Amino acid sequence: MAHHLPQIINNVLFPHKAVSKGYWRAIGVLLIFTAVGTFWFFYRIMLNADFFFVSDLNGPQVYTNNRVYPPLRGEAFVQFEFGIKPVRAFRGSIIDGMSIADVVEQAAVAGNFNIAWHPVPTIDGINDGFEGKHWIFYRNSDRLIESPDSVSVSPGDEIFARFQ
């Protein structure tokens, strides 16, 4: 068996011996497509990852998803009193035009729980009307009569969502 080994090796075709020009062209085209795809992929990631900034007279503003966000106006405090679960509280930034519903949704995203307004308000799986209780919203200790999406938020506001 050992004396037949060199004959077997001589019959094997190695790529560096029998490669044509078409092979190298195919490799070149593949490398070009890979390079272009890599640059495009990383460009899209950076564009959607709050990577670009724009500076103007109002100071630096974040440029993301093809728009410039307005400057921050201040902070608001949000507290959820579930009644059957522990209380959860959040403090977050607000911008021009934010409503109480926007701030409550922002706190829900930060707290990693769901919120839905239709067909009935549902916060962290607790539906309005469950066990005869309802979600009641307060702004600076004043009970809201209006819908939370129609009341604007000011810096320093304290918002309470109580299930009672």
CA distance 49 to 17: 48
Residues 41, 82: one domain? no
CA distance 135 to 35: 54
Q: How, if at all, do strands 115-116 and 122-123 pair?
A: antiparallel
pLDDT at residue 13 in the model: 61
CA distance 74 to 158: 12
Which pTM does this prediction carry?
0.56
Nearest to 108 by CA among 94, 95, 84, 92: 92
For 105-130, what is each residue's pLDDT tens digit? 888 888 888 888 787 888 888 888 88
With beta carbons less than 8 A apart as the criterion, state whether 98 and 140 touch: no
Residues 76, 156: one domain? yes
Q: Is the pLDDT of residue 77 over 70?
A: yes
User: What is the average pLDDT across 77-94?
Assistant: 87
Residues 51, 125: one domain? no
Number of domains in the chain: 2
